[in-house]
């Protein structure tokens, strides 16, 4: 039976229903999309795999999980009341606090009633005849919708390496973003962690406190800066609450969508060695990622970049007592900042503990998982718990996990076989009325996600309101606009040092994934201006029919 749904009317989990908009995902992107579209008078259904809101912050509940942007900045700006009433307890909120925040937002804006939890979208298919999308879920729902908004997150498809023998492991193993909600008791146990990206770097110091012995299996060392997390400074909170408009305006036009701008508009090479060291030392003391914004050419000039990289290398040598371990922890083969910079609490110091061993799996690769532990080419490590901090099939993974089929039976998987192609990272030609929040080709993962999410959701909601007001049924980018945007995204990346690292930005962490630099490196402020110009020119590059 086909049932027409009006705004706000709840739907039974298995009914066949039609909506104005279906949103996939109830993380920060999906929640705000629901709020905006409901305000615009649309009937909206959100489909979410988890049992509650929060997205990334629901799934990533591993020990030590914490946001790497200051919480005051990593928060919604759309509601002045919300900004005033919410108080962050820590400068960089831990996962539990972020989840509390997400839940508060959902309660405050009465979002739960339009979200169907514990349901995964398996396919979405466009019908030109009906001019609608059909969404199918793993619970057997069939839902039709005019607009389809993919708010699936950039880092939600987990990457568990295909190690031989994993199934035989007699202990317990966990990917960090599927960490058991009841926690994992590692007290006194032999624990192995594979992976030293942001996640490993956050989890390792916490696991080391309780583990009997912790083995860290590192393939590539990462640059990490101290976050210097602390309880919220009441003075800072007062300042933000008094000047939120100003702080948000700054973030929206900044390169990274955050509140750390460029600290000096001069080259790192234009000052004396002593002055440069003093500047980096001060940034290290304050903490956070501002060391990378100390000068205007760290991201683009190899020599300037090397000064910052070398400063961090010297810090590692200073902190880590064993010179061989310090050397292994020292990144040498890619510029600093070309992989997501890590922020830590006591990461390098952890290697001074007697119960922590660093294993270099680049020179001594992992061969197999055995019932008792992990075997490298040189040694067998007996383990009780194995932790995979091995990251994600980033950006495209969550979209391609579903069967997404556009006009004329075009599968998104086929269209993107050689890498993602989008216009502005928000739509892709051949998929009318399907929008992506922070999709590939937008600043997304190179930015403060909440700033980019709000900008995209506003763009999408405004476009839908424009369509409805102008009587147009659908919007879709032209192939020409898409081609030139893809070319532009590449050109901009080529002006930076990003492609010098084998990062997940490039898809390099997933065997067989096409190597395409996926996010837009032109900066959040610049990108916002591009989007505003597109709209001012009547949705330039889009076909509205």
| Span near ligand NA7 by CB under 6 A; candidates 77-85, 180-188, 374-382, 386-394 | 386-394
**Is 155 among the residues that bind ligand NA7 (CB under 6 A)?**
yes
Measured from the CB of residue 492, what is the shortest distance to ligand NA7 in angstroms?
Answer: 20
- Binding piece for ligand NA7, criterion CB under 6 A, among 197-205, 430-438, 463-471, 474-482: 197-205
Nearer to ligand NA7, 348 or 392 (CB): 392
Residue labelled with tokens 């059909």:
134
**Residue with Cβ nearer ligand NA7 (155 or 497):** 155
Measured from the CB atom, the residue of 132 and 340 that comes closer to ligand NA7 is 340
Interaction between residue 160 and ligand NA7 (CB under 6 A)? no
The region of 190-198, 251-259, 409-417, 514-522 touching ligand NA7 under the rule CB under 6 A is 190-198
**CA 125: distance to chain centroid?**
26
- Span interacting with ligand NA7, options 205-213, 383-391, 453-461, 527-535, rule CB under 6 A: 383-391
Spatial separation of the C-alpha atoms in residues 112 and 523, rounded to whole Å:
34
**Interaction of residue 196 with ligand NA7, rule CB under 6 A:** yes
Residue of this chain nearest to ligand NA7 (CB atom):
197
Does 197 engage in binding with ligand NA7 (CB under 6 A)?
yes
> Distance between CA 6 and CA 43 in Å, rounded?
6
Specify the stretch interacting with ligand NA7 by CB under 6 A; choose among 71-79, 348-356, 390-398, 407-415: 390-398
On the CB side of 265, how many CA atoms lie within 13 Å of its CA? 1
Could you tell me which stretch among 122-130, 185-193, 194-202, 281-289 binds ligand NA7 (CB under 6 A)? 194-202
Candidate ranges 87-95, 196-204, 268-276, 399-407; the one touching ligand NA7 (CB under 6 A): 196-204
Is 219 a residue that touches ligand NA7 (CB under 6 A)? yes
Told to check if 430 binds ligand NA7 by CB under 6 A, we report no
115/10 Cα distance (integer angstroms): 9
Identify the residue whose tokens are 């709000």. 454
- Residue 125 or 376 having the CB closest to ligand NA7: 376
**Minimum CB distance to ligand NA7 smaller for 36 or for 340:** 340
Q: Does 361 bind ligand NA7 (CB under 6 A)?
A: yes
Cα angle 273, 274, 276 (rounded to 5 degrees) comes to 65
Task: Check residue 192 for interaction with ligand NA7 (CB under 6 A).
Answer: no
* 153 lies in the site for ligand NA7, by CB under 6 A: no
- Residue corresponding to tokens 């002055």: 275
- Is residue 370 close enough to count as binding ligand NA7 by CB under 6 A? no
CB 371 within 8 A of CB 139: no
Which residue number, 161 or 419, has a Cβ lying nearer to ligand NA7? 161
Distance CA 103, CA 284 (A): 34
Return d(Cα 488, Cα 425) in angstroms, integer: 12
Stretch that binds ligand NA7, among 198-206, 270-278, 322-330, 400-408 (CB under 6 A): 198-206
Minimum distance between the CB of residue 447 and ligand NA7, rounded to whole angstroms? 11
Contacts of 246-252 spanning 24+ positions with Cβ under 8 A: 247/72, 247/73, 248/77, 251/73, 251/77, 251/448, 251/451, 251/524, 252/451, 252/455, 252/524, 252/525, 252/528
Q: Can you tell me the distance from the alpha carbon of 202 to that of 255, in angstroms, rounded to the nearest whole number?
A: 25
Helices marked H in 130-195: none
227 binds ligand NA7 (CB under 6 A): no
Q: With binding defined as CB under 6 A, does residue 443 bind ligand NA7?
A: no
Strands (E), 334-482: 342-344, 356-360, 366-369, 373-376, 380-382, 385-388, 403-405, 434-436, 475-477
- 501 with 424: CB under 8 angstroms? no
- # binding residues, ligand NA7 (CB under 6 A): 20
Q: Is the separation of the CB atoms in 220 and 197 below 8 Å? A: no
Nearer to ligand NA7, 196 or 256 (CB): 196
The DSSP line for 451-515 is: HHHHHHHHHHHHHHHHHHHHT---EEE-HHHHHHHHHHHHHHHHTSSGGGS--GGGTTTSTT---
Question: In the complex, what is the shortest distance from the CB of residue 363 to ligand NA7, in angstroms, rounded to a whole number?
Answer: 12
Nearer to ligand NA7, 54 or 477 (CB): 54
Site for ligand NA7 in 502-521 (CB under 6 A): 504, 509
Q: Do residues 503 and 340 touch, judged by C-beta distance below 8 A?
A: yes
Interface with ligand NA7 includes 220 (CB under 6 A)?
A: yes
Residues near ligand NA7, by CB under 6 A: 155, 161, 194-200, 219-220, 340, 361, 366, 389-392, 504, 509
């Amino acid at each position: 039976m086909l049932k027409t749904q009006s705004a706000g009317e709840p739907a039974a989990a298995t009914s066949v229903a039609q909506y104005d908009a279906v949103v996939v995902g109830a993380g920060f992107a999906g929640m705000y999309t629901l709020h905006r579209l409901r305000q615009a008078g649309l009937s909206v259904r959100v489909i979410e795999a988890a049992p509650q809101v929060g997205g990334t912050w629901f799934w990533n509940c591993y020990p030590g999980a914490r946001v790497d942007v200051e919480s005051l900045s990593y928060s919604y700006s759309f509601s002045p009341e919300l900004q005033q009433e919410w108080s962050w307890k820590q400068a960089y909120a831990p996962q539990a606090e972020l989840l509390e925040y997400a839940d508060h937002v959902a309660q405050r804006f009465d979002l739960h009633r339009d979200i169907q939890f514990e349901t995964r979208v398996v396919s979405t298919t466009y019908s030109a005849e009906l001019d609608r999308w059909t969404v199918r879920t793993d619970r057997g729902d069939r839902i039709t919708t005019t607009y389809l908004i993919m708010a699936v997150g950039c880092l939600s498809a987990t990457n568990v390496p295909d190690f031989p023998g994993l199934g035989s492991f007699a202990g317990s193993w966990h990917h960090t973003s599927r960490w058991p909600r009841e926690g994992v008791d590692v007290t006194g146990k032999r624990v192995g962690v594979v992976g030293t990206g942001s996640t490993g770097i956050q989890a390792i110091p916490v696991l080391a406190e309780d583990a009997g012995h912790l083995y860290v299996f590192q393939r590539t060392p990462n640059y990490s800066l101290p976050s210097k997390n602390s309880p919220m400074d009441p003075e800072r909170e007062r300042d933000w609450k008094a000047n939120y408009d100003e702080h948000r305006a700054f973030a929206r036009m900044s390169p990274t969508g955050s509140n750390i701008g460029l600290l000096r508009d001069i080259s790192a090479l234009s000052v004396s060695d002593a002055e440069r060291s003093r500047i980096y030392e001060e940034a290290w003391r304050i903490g956070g990622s501002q060391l990378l914004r100390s000068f205007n050419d760290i991201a683009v000039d190899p020599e300037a970049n090397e000064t910052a990289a070398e400063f961090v290398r010297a810090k590692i040598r200073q902190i880590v007592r064993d010179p061989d371990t310090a050397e292994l922890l020292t990144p040498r083969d890619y510029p600093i900042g070309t992989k997501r910079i890590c922020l830590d609490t006591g990461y390098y110091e952890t290697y001074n503990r007697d119960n922590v061993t660093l294993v270099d799996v680049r020179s001594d690769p992992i061969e197999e998982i055995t019932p008792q532990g992990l075997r490298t080419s040189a040694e067998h490590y007996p383990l009780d718990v194995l932790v995979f901090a091995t990251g994600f099939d980033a950006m495209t993974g969550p979209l391609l996990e579903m069967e997404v089929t556009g006009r004329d039976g075009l599968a998104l998987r086929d269209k993107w076989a050689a890498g993602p192609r989008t216009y502005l990272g928000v739509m892709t030609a051949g998929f009318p009325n399907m929008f992506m929040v922070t999709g590939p080709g937008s600043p997304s993962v190179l930015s403060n996600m909440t700033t980019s999410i709000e900008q995209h959701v506003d763009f999408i909601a405004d476009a839908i309101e424009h369509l409805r007001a102008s009587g147009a049924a659908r919007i879709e980018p032209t192939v020409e606009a898409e081609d030139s945007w893809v070319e532009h995204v590449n050109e901009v990346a080529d002006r930076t040092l990003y492609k010098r690292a084998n990062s997940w930005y490039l898809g390099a962490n997933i065997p067989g994934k096409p190597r395409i630099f996926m996010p837009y490196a032109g900066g959040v402020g610049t990108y916002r201006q591009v989007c505003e110009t597109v709209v001012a020119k009547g949705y330039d590059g889009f076909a509205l029919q």
